[in-house]
Amino acid sequence: MSTYKKEFGTGVQNAAGTLSGVIEGQLWYDSTAASFKYQYPNVTSTGTWQTANNLNTPRLQMGDAGTQTAALMFGGTPSTGLTESYDGISWTEVADLNTGRQSLKGAGTQTSALGFTGSPPGGSTATESWNGTSWTSVSSLNSARLTGGGAGEDNTSALTFAGFTSPPFVRKALTESWNGTSWTEVNDMNTARYGLAGFGTATAALASTGDNTPGNLTTATELWNGTSWTEVNDLNLARSYPGGSGVTTAGLVYGGSDIPGATFYGNTEVWNGTSFSEDGDMNTARSQFGSAGTGSASALAAGGGDSTGTEEFTEAGQPVGAWSTGGSLNTARYALGGAGTQTTALAFGGNTGGGRVGVTESYDGSSWTEVNDLNTARDYLNGDGTQTSAIAAGGETPGGRQTATETWNGTSWTTSPATLNSARYSLGVISADNTAALAFGGDGPPPTTAFTELYNGTTWTEVNDLNTSRSYMGACGDSTAGLSVAGYTGIDTAVTESWNGTSWTEVGDVNTARYGLAAEGTQTLSLAFAGTPFSVLTEEWNGVSWSETNDLSTGRQIIGGAGTQSAALAFGGFTPGATAATEEWNNPSNTVKTITTS
C-alpha cells in the first residue's frame, strides 16, 4: 500500500502554525490549530485583458499579423496604407502598403506577412507581401472581396475565405489558398458570410460567426483541414467583426458587435479544439479591430469601431497577489509617513485621533519597534527612502502647513536647514534615500497645488509643476523617475502622472478615482491601495495601465505604505478611527487550506 512518505519522500511534518519552507501541495500538521493543512498558489480563475499603449493612428478595418508581443497592423479606414509594428510595449510606424485600403485581411508574422483583399471600391484582389521592412505587390486573388477571413503562417502560405462584394451585394463562401507565388481556388465554406473571425494556418484553419443573411448573425463555426470545410460546435454569442487568433486546437474569438453595429461586445470565448467556452471580457467592448496571437494563452486587440486603444489577453492560471495580516503598529494612527521595504519599514508621524504625534516605529517583517521620534510632531506629512536613510517633509501642526524637512540616519531624525519653498500638507514625497527627493502637490494654498520641488541633500529647488493640482495622492519611485497617483482636486481624481526627472506627463488613470491612498514601487511597476471612502481597493501598474487585483482586508484611507509592487506593506490609516492594522502584500501568493472531514 502506498503511503504519504513513499509518495513525497518525507513523513507529515509538525509545525505550530504554517510550516516553514512548505512547498505546493505539501501536507503538514498544525499543532496549534490541531488540524492538517496544505498550501497552493493563488492564480487567476479567468483570462484577463489589460490595457496597453495605443496605436499611433486610430483606425478600424485593418489587416493584421503576428503575436501579442510582435504584431503588425496595416491599412484601415479611411483607405490608408499605414503600417505599424508592435514590440510588446509600443507601436512604431513602418513602411506603408503600396495600395491603401480598408476591410482587408492579413496572415503571417511581424517579419513575414501577407495582406490581401479589401476596399475600395467594393472588393479588391490586391495582394502584398511583407518582408519585415517593406511591402511588395504580388499575384492577385482570383476573386475580389472584402471583410472576409484570413489565416496563414507567413508570406509563403496563407488562406482567405468568405467576405462580400458590392455592387451587387453578395456574401461569399469562396476559399483561396496562397503558395507563395499565386492564389488557387479550393473548396468553398458551407455557410457564406462576412465580418467573421478566422485564424490558423493554410492547412488547418477555423472560421466562426459573422453576417450570413440580411439582418442576421450566425454562430456557425467551420474547420478547414487543407482540403474542405466541416461544421463543428458553434460559438456561444453571434456577432459581427470580432477578433480571432490562435490555431485550430487552441484559439480565441473576442469583441464584435450586433447588427447594425449599435452594440459593441467585449465577450471573449476560448476554443479548445472541440468547443467554445466563455472567458474574461475585454476592458473596452469594440469591433472591426486588428487582432494577433498564436494560441489561446495570449492575444492582442488594437483599434476598432469604438476604441483607439490596445489590449493584451493572458489566459487563466497566472500568479496573483494577496494581502495577509502583519504585526500591528504600537501606536494606532492615520495621516502618517512611511519608508522602506516590506520587511524593513519605517512609520513616522501622524494623528492618533487624540492629536498629532512624532512617533517613529521600525518594522522587521513581523513586528514594529518604537525608535526615536520626529523632532516636529505632525500629521499629513509624507516621506520616503529606506529604514536607515529616509526623509520626511511638509505636514501640518497646530501652527498650520509646514515647510520642515527632517532626515533619518537609521537611529534618529535631524531637522534639515533646507525647508520646502512652499508650505503644504497631504503632499507626495518620493526618494531612494535622504540625499535626494521630490516633493509635489499637496494642500497649498490655494486649496490644492501643483508645485514640485527637488531636494539635492542641501536645498529644495522648484522644478516643473504637476499638470493637475492635487493633494492626498499616492506617490512612488524616486527623484528621477516616479508616479503621482490619483488624489483630491476638489473632487476625487483618477489621474496618474509620470515624472522623468525633468517634467510630468499624464499617463493611464487608475480604475477608481480616490484620495488618501498609498502607492509603492517604481515608475513602471507599482501598487496603489486603500483610499476614500475607507477603500479596500488594490491596483497594479505595468507601466501603461492599472488593473484591479485582490483587496485589502481592512478598508481605510490616509494610510502609510512601504515596499514594492510584488512585496508591499500597508499600515495605519483611518477606518474611521485610527487603526494599527498592518497588512503584507505578496505576489505571487499562496492559500493555506485546512483539511476537514466534512
Cα separation, 218 vs 172, in Å, equals: 14
Lowest mean pLDDT across 16-30, 301-315, 334-348, 520-534: 16-30
pLDDT higher than threshold 70 for residue 313: yes
> Are 293 and 358 members of one domain?
no
pLDDT at 577 over 70: yes
Residue 534 and residue 455 share a domain: yes
Same domain as 277, residue 334: no
The candidate with the shortest Cα–Cα distance to 482, out of 530, 514, 421, 437, is 437
Q: Would the pLDDT of 591 be above 90?
A: no
CA distance 204 to 222: 11
Q: Is the pLDDT of residue 598 over 60?
A: no
Q: Which helix (H) or strand (E) holds 481?
A: strand 481-488
Within this chain, do residues 249 and 366 fall inside the same structural domain, yes or no? Answer: no
Q: Within this chain, do residues 443 and 570 fall inside the same structural domain, yes or no?
A: yes
Residue 10 has a pLDDT of: 66
Q: Which of helix, strand or coil describes residue 8? A: helix
Domain membership flag for residue 367: yes
Residue 597, domain member (yes or no): no
CB 396 within 8 A of CB 388: no
Angstrom CA distances, 13 to 364, 490, 578, 596, stand at 27, 57, 41, 18
- The beta strand positions in 42-134, using DSSP E, are 48-52, 63-66, 71-74, 83-86, 91-94, 105-108, 113-116, 127-130
What CATH number is attached to the domain comprising 419?
2.120.10.80
Question: Are 448 and 429 contacting, i.e. CB atoms less than 8 angstroms apart?
Answer: no
Sign of CA dihedral 537, 538, 541, 545: negative
Number of C-beta neighbours around residue 87 at 10 A: 11
Residues 206 and 374: their CA atoms lie apart, in Å, by: 67
Per-residue DSSP letter, 342: S
DSSP 19: P
Determine the pLDDT at residue 21.
82
Residue 128 CA, chain-centre distance (Å), reads 34
Domain count, the chain: 3
β-bridge mates for residue 561, sequence order: 570
pLDDT at 131: 98
Which pLDDT does position 73 carry in this prediction? 98
The answer to the question of residue 6 being in a domain is: no
Q: Say if residue 286 is in the same domain as residue 209.
A: yes
- Which residues does 55 contact at the CB level (< 8 Å), separation at least 6? 73, 84, 91, 302, 303, 308, 309, 310
The x, y and z cell numbers of residue 90, run together, are: 509600443
Boundary residue ending a domain (282, 314, 346): 314
More confident residue, 24 or 584: 584
Statement to judge: residues 72 and 184 lie in one domain:
yes
Kindly report the backbone phi and psi dihedral angles of residue 533, in degrees, each rounded to the nearest multiple of 5, phi listed first: -90, 105
**Rounded Cα distance, 236 and 220, in Å:** 9
| DSSP assignment string, 51-77 | EEPPPSS--SS-EEEE-SSSEEEE--T
d(CA 539, CA 529): 6
> In sequence order, what are the residues at sequence separation of 6 or more whose Cβ sits closer than 8 angstroms to the Cβ of residue 10?
none
CA angle 290, 153, 51 (to 5 degrees): 30
For residue 430, list its beta bridge partners: 438
Residue 22: predicted pLDDT = 82
- Count the alpha carbons within 13 Å of 204 in the hemisphere toward its beta carbon: 9
Domain boundary among 281, 296, 314: 314
For 417-452, the DSSP string reads S---SS-BBS-EEEEEETTEEEEE--B-SSSSB--E
> Are 201 and 158 within 8 A, CB to CB?
no
C-alpha 512: how far from chain center:
14
Supply the pTM of this predicted model.
Answer: 0.88
What percentage of the chain reaches a pLDDT higher than 90? 89
- List of residues 6+ apart from 326 with CB closer than 8 A: 363, 366, 569, 571, 582, 583, 584
Contact call for residues 348 and 358 (beta carbons, < 8 A): yes
Taking the CB of residue 173, how many other CB atoms lie within 10 A of it? 18
Write the DSSP string, 178-195: E-SS-EEEEPPPSS-BBS
What does the block give as the cell for 105?
Answer: 485581411
pLDDT given at position 305: 81
113 within 8 A of 133, measured Cβ to Cβ: no
Is 319 a member of any domain? no
Within a domain: 50? no
CA distances to 4, 122, 379, 567 from 558, rounded to whole Å, are 49, 60, 10, 20
User: Which triple of cell numbers denotes residue 439?
Assistant: 516633493
Laid out side by side, the sheet with 504-507 consists of 474-478, 481-488, 492-499, 504-507
Contact of 199 with 207, CB cutoff 8 Å? no
Q: What is the mean pLDDT of the chain?
A: 95
Q: Which residues touch 417 (CB under 8 Å, ≥6 apart)?
A: none
The confidence score (pLDDT) of residue 5 equals: 60
Q: Is 6 helix (H, G, I), strand (E, B) or coil?
A: helix
Residue 47 lies in a domain: no
Q: Is 568 a member of any domain? A: yes
pLDDT at residue number 1: 54
pLDDT tens readout for residues 8-43:
556 788 888 888 888 877 888 988 888 988 888 999
* 169 and 235, same domain (yes or no): yes
Whether 240 and 348 share a structural domain: no
Confidence class for position 404, pLDDT limits 50, 70, 90: very high
Q: Give per-residue pLDDT as tens, 369-390.
A: 999 999 999 999 999 999 999 9
Count of alpha carbons within 13 Å of 326, Cβ hemisphere only? 29
Same domain, 522 and 578: yes
**In this structure, are 296 and 391 located in the same domain?**
no
Residues forming a β-bridge with 283: none
Q: Can you name the residues that pair with 481 across neighbouring β-strands?
A: 478
For the stretch 152-204, pLDDT in tens is: 999 999 999 999 999 999 999 999 999 999 999 999 999 999 999 999 999 99
Is 475 inside any structural domain? Answer: yes
Domain final residue, candidates 283, 314, 345: 314
pLDDT at 309: 92
- Write down the pLDDT at residue 150: 98
**13, 4 Cβ separation under 8 angstroms:** no
Q: Are residues 303 and 442 in the same domain?
A: no
Judged against a pLDDT cut of 90, whether residue 391 lies above it is answered with: yes
- Which residues span the domain enclosing 202? 55-314
Sequence-distant (≥ 6) Cβ neighbours of residue 580 within 8 angstroms: 328, 329, 330, 331, 332, 333, 571, 572
